[in-house]
Amino acid sequence: MLGIFSSSIVSPPDELVAAGSRTPSPKVTADKLLERFLDANCSAISVKVGDDVQLAYSHRNQSVLLPRSFAVKDEIFCLFEGALDNLGSLKQQYGLAKSANEVLLMIEAYKTLRDRAPYPPNHVVGHLEGNFAFIVFDKSTSTLFVATDPKAKVPLYWGITADGYVAFADDADLLKGACGKSLASFPQGCFFSTAIGEIRCYENPKNKIKAVPAQEEEIWGAKFMVEGPSIVAATK
């Protein structure tokens, strides 16, 4: 799955900007990144949301146990990859039909977060049990919400394209070719919301997230870590 967002939606993270500056490397534009994704996935579906957002996904090479899905409802767009172990109980909690899947659940969970402010975002993702990564974009408020599970069973990466767009994808090689060293693994057990303006660990939301430069031989430009009494690595 792939989500591309202009700087009017999300400001490029300073840590990734700095990583790209330390080690200059080839990049391509957001349009070229999307083109590469579509060329590599002939059955891919892409959706353009206004002038600032591109979303795309494909079922190619997906895990049977961790499928990809997409849905849009009430101008809320969601890309979801993975499976929730407690989907049944969450559907009851949110009043959804028995036929509802993970992607529809996430849209409903996000609506609860948005409409019941100041409902803590960590409560929404903290109740999810299973292996997952998702991207939610609310067109009505231009809000982006991204999260991964605590064990990072579903990989997610983010980077900055040549023209300053922030891209999220489950394919590291795809982003490496587009973002150069302005690239990192999205920290496991964390969420990013433009409504908050920063990335946080949802198990320990008060702990700060620290970015450290990656080793020269690594494909990443930076690694994000969760700080606390004992620092726990948030990337594999």
pLDDT in tens, 128-137: 999 999 999 9
Residue 99 to residue 101: CA distance in whole angstroms? 6
Q: What is the reported pLDDT for 236?
A: 44
- Confidence category of residue 235, pLDDT binned at 50, 70, 90: very low
- Confidence category of residue 206, pLDDT binned at 50, 70, 90: confident
Does residue 113 contact residue 159 with C-beta atoms inside 8 Å? no
Please write the tens of the pLDDT for every residue from 148-196: 998 888 999 999 999 999 999 999 999 999 998 899 999 989 999 998 8
- Does residue 67 carry a pLDDT above 50? yes
Query: Cα-Cα-Cα-Cα dihedral of 75, 80, 86, 87, to 10°?
Result: 50
For 80-108, what is the mean pLDDT?
94
Q: What is the reported pLDDT for 213?
A: 77
User: Strands of 198-201's sheet, edge to edge?
Assistant: 68-73, 76-84, 130-138, 143-148, 190-193, 198-201
Residue 180 to residue 64: CA distance in whole angstroms? 31
Q: Calculate the average pLDDT of the chain.
A: 89
Residue 219 to residue 14: CA distance in whole angstroms? 18
Please write the tens of the pLDDT for every residue from 10-21: 998 888 888 887
- Confidence category of residue 232, pLDDT binned at 50, 70, 90: very low
Q: What is the reported pLDDT for 228?
A: 67
| Measured CA angle at 119 (ends 117, 121), to 5 deg | 115
**Whole-number CA gyration radius for the chain:** 17
Q: What is the reported pLDDT for 209?
A: 84
Does residue 158 contact residue 5 with C-beta atoms inside 8 Å? no
For 95-103, what is the mean pLDDT?
94
Helix (H) or strand (E) segment spanning residue 148? strand 143-148
- Does residue 34 carry a pLDDT above 70? yes
Least confident of 76-80, 104-108, 171-175, 214-218: 214-218
- Does residue 121 carry a pLDDT above 90? no
Which amino acid, 172?
A
Task: Select from 25, 49, 76 the least CA-distant residue to 219.
Answer: 25
Q: What is the reported pLDDT for 118?
A: 66
**Which of the two residues, 215 and 118, has the higher pLDDT score?**
215
- Does residue 8 carry a pLDDT above 50? yes
For 112-119, what is the mean pLDDT?
79
